[in-house]
Structure 1
Amino acid sequence: MTTASFAGRAVSRIGYGAAQLARLSDRRDDAVSLLRRAIELGVDHVDTAEFYGFGFANQVIREAVRPADDVLIVTKVGADPNPDGPLPLRVAQRPEQLRASVEANLRGLGLDRLPVVNLRRIDSGPGVRPEADQVVDFDDQLATMTALRDEGKIGAIGLSCVTLDGFRRAQPAGIACVQNAYSLVTRGDEDLLRACSAAGVAWVPFFPLGGGFPGMPKAADEPVVHEVAASLGLTVAQVGLAWLLHHDPGVLLIPGTSDRAHLEANLAVGEIVLDAAALATLDGVESRSNEVLLG
């Protein structure tokens, strides 16, 4: 599997997103086994959050990942678990909430330092929007994240759901990665991707096959994606993921699954070669908006 630079180290370009571990919350041993299998297959980058499964994902990572595995664990702040609410998370954008979220992730993961923490802004992309006291100045948030880095509680700062202007504003703070919703069918952040690539900042798309929320475009709804998959003997998901790897060398994938067969199919994408004709066909798919709001 090829590698790319992330937070000052080389990692495999296909990692693992831990959100779907929550589907195994009543089968903890299976969740641990799944993550161990991912590591055995070369995964050295795991993306998580304390609100994934209300802490369950972090607990599984704490049990499954060993120091000798040398896995880069990336987490995020900007939202907190909300087990009693209509959505499984609540917005937590204020500086004191960001700090409390870092502390919660440290406890959940059993770490003294979080290698990378993504500050999830909610000014763009699918999901919710800030209201009332959750409308917080970006500079105040960056100051908090920088202070946490200076204190040694986090190693590097990433951004999520950020605009191009926001990324440029944050660059002086030192940004390791950007996580935005981006896929073959939702390519509205192309200029931001190019800016990250030029700056050597890792691009880590979430919802890499589209979908994610009802109403969002999906790669699986595109007939040409099915045609390319059939011609190559691949699944539609593999084609969508392979396109991302071919699209820019700074792309790092974090597909999530609770199924071992799907895990192995996702990781096999690193060996897929799309020829010029297939890439041209896929590049021609129309990009549509992913701005689906919840709440």
Structure 2
Amino acid sequence: MHDTPTTTGASDTVKLGDKTVSRMAFGAMRLADPAIWGPPADRDHSIRLARRAVELGVDHIDTADSYGLGVVEDILREALHPYPDHVLIATKVGQVQPRPGEWVPIGHPALLRHQTEMSLRRLGVDRIDLLYLHRADPNVPFADQVGTMKELRDEGKIAHFGLSEAGPEQIELARGIIDVAAVQNIYNLTTRHWDHVVEYCTRENIPFVPWFPVMNGALAQPGGVAAEVATATGSTPTQVALAWLLARAEVICPIPGTSSIAHLEENVAAASLRLTDEQIASLTAAVAPAAE
């Protein structure tokens, strides 16, 4: 017998910028090759995958100019353009990949502008729904980086601005220059050093978009608490991990990524999984958050 679902009544949607979107989104990074360095071996498959996400009701798709060296933005345009009005496409600038597996933040205003112009062209739009500063460049004044994004917004090239891998102090600094529509940090059941940012975003009603939202390791293995909850709920450990995120805070919008249509369908289905309060508590207690 399955446990009784929790009655917390968490919303299935969130206001992201000027659109209300489903909280379970899609991270498009793996539409590129496995190294995120170039085109996929099967471009048609990546196009089908992007289209299937929208067919399943996903209306928030996250990418970056550096994924596949721009290839992922091209694929999204080919798969979905003209984009349905209800679909929000978010992308990111401010980080480059000089070689596979190496990511370097570069926040010079001229480069941020160039990257934004290229994203506009590849996505086939006049205005980007949501543009993140992918990483803050420690060698460029933060106010200059955020100020450039405000200029781009004021020019009508971006609708909303977000920050990635940022703490409360940096978010506050940015909010003194421009509205922050979303914060995207790594966060999952076993990687919780940004717990204090989740709390901050909850207080401030800022959508928190966890990247790498599906944990791996012992908790998902036979005998692990996620595996046990999956057995009790007739689901999978991946779905349990995603459902835990949705229960963690109503501002959380996971962006699980995959190159598999079957895994995409599994991820989207996790939005309907309701865990009991006891299950949520056991999952939360299974790994103590790292020190801030």
- Aligned partner of 2:20: which letter? A
107, 122, 125: which one pairs with 1:108? 122
Aligned to 1:15: 25
1:203 pairs with 191, 204, 208, which one? Answer: 208
The count of aligned residue pairs is: 274
Structure 2 unaligned regions, length at least 5: 1-10, 34-38
Q: Give, as a single letter, the amino acid of the residue that structure 2 aligns with 1:22.
A: A
- Alpha-carbon deviations, 1:151-205, whole Å to 9, x = none? 1111111000111111111123100000001111122222211221222211000
Give the Cα–Cα distance (whole angstroms) in 2 for the partners of residues 201 and 91 of structure 1. 24
The match for 2:43 among 28, 49, 52 is: 28
Structure 1 counterpart of 2:166, one-letter code: V
* 2:212–2:255 CA contact under 8 A, matched in 1: no
The aligned residue for residue 279 of structure 2 is 278
Amino acid at match of 1:136: V
Q: 1:80 aligns with which of 79, 89, 96?
A: 96
* Matched residue, 1:238: 239
Number of the residue aligned with 2:169: 165
What are structure 1's unaligned runs of at least 5 residues? 123-129, 212-216
Amino acid aligned to 1:61:
L
User: Greater CA deviation, 88-97 or 185-194?
Assistant: 88-97
Structure 1 counterpart SS, 2:32: helix
Deviation at 1:88, TM superposition (A): 5.2
* Contact 2:226 2:283 (C-alpha < 8 Å) held by counterparts: yes
SS in 2 for 1:201: coil
Alignment of 1:169-248 (within 5 A): 169-172=173-176, 173-210=178-215, 220=220, 223-248=224-249
Structure 2 residue corresponding to 1:138, chosen from 137, 142, 146: 142
Partner of 1:59, secondary structure, is helix
RMSD: 2.1
Letter in 1 for 2:246: L
TM-score by length of 2: 0.87
- The 8 Å contact of residues 89 and 130 in structure 2, kept in 1 or not, is answered as yes
Aligned in 2, Cα 1:208/1:237: closer, same or farther, shift over 3 Å? same
Equivalent residues in 2 for 1:258-273 (5 A)? 258-273=259-274
Question: Which residue does the alignment assign to 2:131?
Answer: 117
Structure 1 residue 4, shift from structure 2 partner: 0.9
State the Cα distance separating 1:290 from its structure 2 match: 10
Return closer, same or farther for 1:8/1:170 CA change in 2, 3 Å cut-off: same
Amino acid at match of 2:14: A
Cα 1:28–1:233 shift into 2, 3 Å: same
Q: Cα offset for 1:220?
A: 3.1
2:162–2:180 CA contact under 8 A, matched in 1: yes
Q: In structure 2, what is the equivalent of residue 4 of structure 1?
A: 14
- Tell me which of 100, 105, 110 is aligned to 1:96: 110
- Contact 1:209–1:220 at 8 Å: present in 2 too? no
Task: Give % identity.
Answer: 40
Q: 2:73 aligns with which of 58, 63, 66?
A: 58
